[in-house]
Each structure stands twice: as structure tokens, then as C-alpha cells.
């Protein structure tokens, strides 16, 4: 039995691309691909540039002579329905370390040459990241602010001494990044060859415990010990009396502006070397963001502060239009002179935010699950309010599945009464002229029939799954990001129905755009 613990970049990913091509899809949206940190969340990564080693396919390492089949066969069995992260990380890390040992002892000259090329191309971010991870692991996983001061503060002598005494661990961290990017770029090339573009995801903020903040402290609001002085969140609103306190350190936009937003340009450029388009998370925060003193325990006492606005996007646009051979990209970005960005403009959006998005012709997002409540903004999410330059979703990774949303007691909003939920459900049925038995297909049809240029459907909705398949519950500290799908769930009937609807509404490949979202990377049949 082949080692299967979590979706990866092996045959299942290629099979999923074949499914997209077969059913006429042209886009595949994935979650952030970085190394996950707190809560196994792809939105709390140890780096905005590195890849997640948990996604490395181990079968390919057997084919490359870096592991033996016996080493894989000795691994324990894991659940096929959900990812059990603790044991998975322990087991997969052990196998990756064995692959590294085998690489060091008997890798072929071709593999060594490819590896050296990779570390040369990516040194501009890789060396800070691998040093950060090596120190973090040597300190039992402690956040960088808990390290000894000379390491925390990146003193030259301390950095040199640590490198000399931990070269094997640093080499291992480089090696697994090489494996990830080698496999991911092969998947991306296969997608491109089969007419499927990939949408990546760029969270606006980065985790405090990350190589990004540790190696660029001057770009964030931190005190002398490296702790945030003010953090990100959103203010109190209809859904929360105390707002949401995210805790990410805030950028010093004034400092970033001084060097022409170099860090952000590098981040976007690196992402576009891996994917074709970017979903820019929390677009609201680029116009104004909610800044909360780090001493607060809720988001109530924050204030709105000015973001970089158009100045940032003009700098990115100018940089991407330039020809450069010094960026460290593994492949040229598959873009033109414009910015291939989708703006996540959900929540309370001001006219100024709309104006910023429209100035760069970024499509905004509309979520059908938000269209039927009593909130005054609900009408904005009904298809009759859409403009063509829109990306419509039945739901996102933060929503319940459509089936789960429709049948749950709270229908996705705990602040409402049962009567309000029942009224919403009845309105949904009237609006759709439906009996609700196939509510997921009703929503898919509604999205595809809309005027929105792009329609994105979570894979859970294509499969008609309930809230057992929900990917993320915002503010829940554990139990998220664990759902897995098996290849046999994409039955011939589902494939045929999706292909038919795609054709009926003119969204087959080569015409209007349409995609199926998969939250992460699909899992193969065990």
C-alpha cells in the first residue's frame, strides 16, 4: 500500500487537472501553498515565499531513487476522510529526512546540479527562511521572539556560528524546498498544457512567527524585542460585538514606500512565478485597515489607518512590466503588463475601496450564500446586481458547504433567530423555484447562469457534501483544514452533469471562464 496521509503533488493532482479539462473548466483555485504554522492554517505560514513540504509526493522520491518502496510501505496507515496533522507531520518529516540522507550520500550528478541551480535562483528568500526554520527547530519550535537575543536580533557572529554548527539541518531545509518547487512547477506546467490556469491566494498579512517578520523587522510595527505594538483585525459589526482580533503584525507602509514597496513586489512576483492569477485577500485593508493596540484582548479599541492605496499597485504594475533576470524566479510569470488579481472585497466596503478596485480593473467577489439574508448588503450578492467584472462563488473556504449552510440550524450565522433562519430558507426556495433537494446544484446553476465573467464552485459543492466537509470555521482554533476527497467521489454522473451545465451556460473552456475550487491539493485513492 502506497503511503497516503495527506493530499499531495502526485498523480492525484494530475488526475484532477484531467477532470477539469474533461468537464470544460479553465481555472483551478488553491489555498496558499506555504508551510503551515499555527492551527495548520495556510493563512498562518512560516513564510510568504516557501512551499509546504507536507505536499511533497513521496512516490516520486522512490522513482528518483531518494526513497525505497520498503521505506514507504513501512509507514502507518492514515484516515482517508480527514488529515490527522500531528501523526502526519511526524511520519512524513521522518521520510523526508531519510530522503535527504539518501540525497547526501548517493544523489546523481543531474539531481545535484538541479538542486544547486534551485538554491542559486532562490537564495534571495531561501537563505533567510532555512536559517529561521533551522533555529526554530533547534529551539523546540519556539517563536523567534523567544530565542536568545543574539539569534532573535540576527547578530552577524551568532548567525555565522549557527550556520557552521547546523549545516546539516540547513541543508535539509533547502532540500525539501527544492523538492516542493520541483513537483509544484511540474504540476503547474501540466495544468498550462491542458488549458487550466491556477489561481493562487495571497493573504494581506503575514504571521508574526515567520521568516518574513524575523528577517524584515523594520517593515513591521514591532518593539525592540520584536513583539507587535499594534495588530490586525476588523471592528465590531453586525456579526460580532467585539470584532475580530487577528493578531498579525501591521506593515509600516511609510517604510515600505521608501524603497518602492520592494518586499511586496517580490512577494507578488514570486507568487506569479507559481500560479497564473492571484486572489488578494482582505483587499479592504489596502485602502484603510483596522489597527488594534497589541495590548488589547478584543478588536473594539482599534482605529482606521490609511493603507498604501493605488501607490502600491502602481509600483507592482510597473515592476511586473519590466524585464528582469535577477528576481530568482524559477519560471517567468505567465502574465501580461496588467495585474492578474482578484480582489477579495467582502464585508463592509466603502466607496473608496470600490474606487481603488475599479481603478485597476480588478474583479471583485460575490458569494451566493450571502444573498438571501435580511442584511442591507444582501442585495449586492444577488445575481441581478452583478457586473460582468465579477467572480461569483457559491461559497468560500470560510463558509459552510452549500448543503451544510442550507440545512444547518443557524444557516451560517449564529446571531440570528430561528425565525430569521427559516425566513431566509423559504426565500431561497422561492428565489430558486426549488424544493431544496439538490440545493447545491441549484446554487451552481445560479452562479453559472449569472453575468459574472468568472464562477468558482468549491469542490464540496460539486460533490453535494454537508458540513462534515467544511474546510474552515473562522475563529475556531483547531479542527480546520482537514477535509479530504477521494477520487471515486467524482463519479461519472457528477462529471457529466458539471460538463453539461458548463456547456449550457457558455462557460466551457475557450469561452467564458469557470472553475472548480479544490481546497488544497486533491488526494488519490488509497
The residues annotated as belonging to the active site are 281, 344, 398
Q: What kind and span of H or E run contains 179?
A: helix 167-193
Please name which of 28, 80, 191 lies closest in space to residue 523, comparing C-alpha atoms. Answer: 80
Cell of 204: 494581506
* Strand duo 515-517 + 27-29: pairing: parallel
Q: In what order do the strands lie in the sheet with 303-306?
A: 244-249, 230-234, 288-293, 303-306
Please name which of 297, 319, 146, 325 lies closest in space to residue 233, comparing C-alpha atoms. Answer: 297
Please name which of 431, 283, 428 lies closest in space to residue 359, comparing C-alpha atoms. Answer: 283
Within 13 Å, how many C-alpha atoms sit on residue 128's CB side?
Answer: 18
SS3 515: strand
Please name which of 132, 161, 157 lies closest in space to residue 147, comparing C-alpha atoms. Answer: 132
Q: How far apart are CA 96 and CA 172, in angstroms?
A: 9
Residue 51 to residues 182, 183, 261, 405, 514: CA-CA distances in angstroms?
A: 10, 11, 23, 32, 27
**Do the Cβ atoms of 273 and 330 come closer than 8 Å?**
yes
Cell 451545465 sits on residue? 501
Amino acid at each position: 500500500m502506497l503511503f497516503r496521509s495527506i493530499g499531495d503533488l502526485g498523480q492525484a493532482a494530475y488526475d484532477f487537472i484531467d477532470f477539469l479539462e474533461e468537464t470544460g473548466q479553465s481555472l483551478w483555485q488553491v489555498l496558499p501553498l506555504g508551510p503551515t504554522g499555527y492551527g495548520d492554517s495556510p493563512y498562518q505560514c512560516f513564510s510568504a515565499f516557501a512551499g509546504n513540504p507536507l505536499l511533497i509526493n513521496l512516490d516520486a522520491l522512490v522513482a528518483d531513487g531518494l526513497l525505497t518502496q520498503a521505506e514507504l510501505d513501512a509507514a502507518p496507515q492514515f484516515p482517508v476522510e480527514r488529515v490527522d496533522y500531528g501523526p502526519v507531520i511526524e511520519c512524513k518529516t521522518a521520510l523526508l529526512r531519510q530522503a535527504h540522507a539518501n540525497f547526501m550520500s548517493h544523489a546523481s550528478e543531474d539531481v545535484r546540479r538541479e538542486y544547486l541551480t534551485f538554491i542559486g535562483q532562490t537564495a534571495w528568500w531561501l537563505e533567510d527562511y532555512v536559517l529561521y526554520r533551522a533555529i526554530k527547530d533547534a529551539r523546540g519550535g519556539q517563536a523567534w521572539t523567544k530565542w536568545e537575543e543574539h539569534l532573535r536580533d540576527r547578530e552577524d557572529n551568532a548567525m555565522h556560528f549557527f550556520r557552521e554548527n547546523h549545516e546539516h539541518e540547513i541543508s535539509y531545509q533547502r532540500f525539501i524546498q527544492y523538492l516542493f518547487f520541483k513537483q509544484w512547477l511540474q504540476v503547474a506546467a501540466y495544468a498550462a498544457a491542458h488549458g487550466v490556469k491556477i489561481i493562487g491566494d495571497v493573504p494581506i498579512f503575514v504571521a508574526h512567527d515567520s521568516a518574513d517578520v524575523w528577517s524584515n523587522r523594520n517593515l513591521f510595527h514591532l518593539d525592540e524585542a520584536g513583539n507587535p505594538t499594534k495588530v490586525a483585525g476588523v471592528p465590531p459589526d453586525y456579526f460580532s460585538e467585539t470584532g475580530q482580533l487577528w493578531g498579525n503584525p501591521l506593515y509600516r507602509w511609510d517604510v515600505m514606500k521608501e524603497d518602492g514597496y520592494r518586499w511586496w513586489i517580490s512577494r507578488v512576483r514570486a507568487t506569479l512565478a507559481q500560479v497564473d492569477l492571484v486572489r488578494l485577500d482582505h483587499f479592504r485593508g489596502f485602502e484603510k485597515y483596522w489597527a488594534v493596540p497589541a495590548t488589547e484582548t478584543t478588536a473594539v479599541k482599534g482605529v482606521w489607518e490609511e493603507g498604501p492605496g493605488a501607490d502600491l499597485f502602481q509600483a507592482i504594475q510597473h515592476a511586473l512590466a519590466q524585464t528582469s533576470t535577477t528576481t530568482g524566479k524559477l519560471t517567468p510569470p505567465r502574465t501580461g503588463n496588467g495585474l492578474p488579481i482578484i480582489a477579495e472585497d467582502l464585508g463592509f466596503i466603502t466607496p473608496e475601496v470600490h474606487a481603488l478596485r475599479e481603478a485597476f480593473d480588478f474583479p471583485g467577489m460575490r458569494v451566493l450564500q450571502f444573498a438571501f439574508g435580511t442584511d442591507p448588503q444582501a442585495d449586492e450578492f444577488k445575481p441581478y446586481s452583478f457586473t460582468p467584472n465579477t467572480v461569483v462563488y457559491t461559497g468560500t473556504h470560510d463558509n459552510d458547504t452549500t448543503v451544510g449552510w442550507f440545512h444547518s440550524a443557524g444557516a451560517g450565522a449564529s446571531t440570528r433567530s430561528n425565525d430569521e433562519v427559516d425566513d431566509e430558507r423559504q426565500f431561497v426556495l422561492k428565489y430558486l423555484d426549488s424544493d431544496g433537494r439538490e440545493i447545491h446544484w441549484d446554487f451552481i446553476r445560479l452562479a453559472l447562469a449569472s453575468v459574472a465573467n468568472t464562477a468558482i464552485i468549491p469542490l464540496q459543492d460539486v460533490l453535494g457534501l454537508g458540513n462534515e466537509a467544511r474546510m474552515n470555521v473562522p475563529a475556531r482554533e483547531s479542527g480546520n483544514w482537514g477535509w479530504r476527497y477521494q477520487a471515486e467521489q467524482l463519479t461519472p454522473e457528477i462529471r457529466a452533469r458539471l460538463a453539461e451545465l458548463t456547456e449550457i451556460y457558455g462557460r466551457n473552456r475557450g469561452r467564458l471562464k469557470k472553475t472548480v475550487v479544490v481546497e488544497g491539493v486533491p488526494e488519490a485513492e488509497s
